[in-house]
Amino acid sequence: MKEVLKRAGYRVTRQRLVIFEALRGTTSHPTAEEIYNMVKSRLPNISLGTVYRTLELFERLGVLQRLTFEGSPSRFDGNPKPHYHAICLGCGRVLDADEPVPEDIGRRFSEETGFEIVGYKLEFYGYCKECASKRRENENKG
């Protein structure tokens, strides 16, 4: 991270490093507010605005990815490599879905139509293990 910041001409600050570490150390895909709560014990003077600006900087530098889901605030993923996500409709948590990501997805369509693809979205919706078993319990009761 230090190298990435330096190469891009940004100062290496404790705030930036702590925020980056927090993000790399979790697979929970936190929101900016959750990240703020994660780091504020180590950075007592930090503001939510600084966390937002730092996350925007990291996004520009390509060291994280922003996940946007309809009707909820952006979440941040310390893993910038392409991978899929599964969203639980019960508790709202976002899990990594370890499925192979095809490199040539959309290529045939693009070649046939001249449509220049810059991105695509694939998300799994459903219930995490805990929520699925709660739902089964409720069904059995009802």
90 is in the binding site of which of Zn ion, Mn ion, none (Cβ under 5 to 8 A by kind)?
Zn ion
Residue span binding Mn ion (CB under 5 A) among the ranges 9-17, 18-26, 56-64, 94-102: 94-102
Residue number with CB closer to Mn ion (96 or 137): 96
Going through the chain in order, the beta strands assigned E by DSSP cover 65-67, 75-77, 84-88, 94-97, 123-126
> Which 8-state DSSP code applies to residue 66?
E
Coil, helix or strand at residue 69: coil
Indicate the residue among 81 and 129 with the shorter CB distance to Zn ion: 129
> Taking the complex as a whole, how short is the minimal distance between the CB of residue 17 and Mn ion, in angstroms?
21
- Tokens in use for 82? 């392409």
- Calculate the CA 79 to chain-centre distance: 8
Which of the choices Mn ion, Zn ion, none does residue 88 contact, using the CB cut-off of 5 to 8 A by kind? Answer: Zn ion
Binding mask 59-88 for Mn ion (x = CB under 5 A): ------------------x-----------
| Sole window of 46-54, 55-63, 72-80, 126-134 interacting with Zn ion (rule: CB under 5 A) | 126-134
The strand pairing partners of 34, in sequence order, are none
CB under 8 A, 24+ apart: contacts of 131-139: 131/88, 131/89, 131/90, 131/91, 132/90, 134/90, 135/90
Site residues (CB under 5 A) for Mn ion? 77, 96
Site residues (CB under 5 A) for Zn ion? 88, 90-91, 128, 131
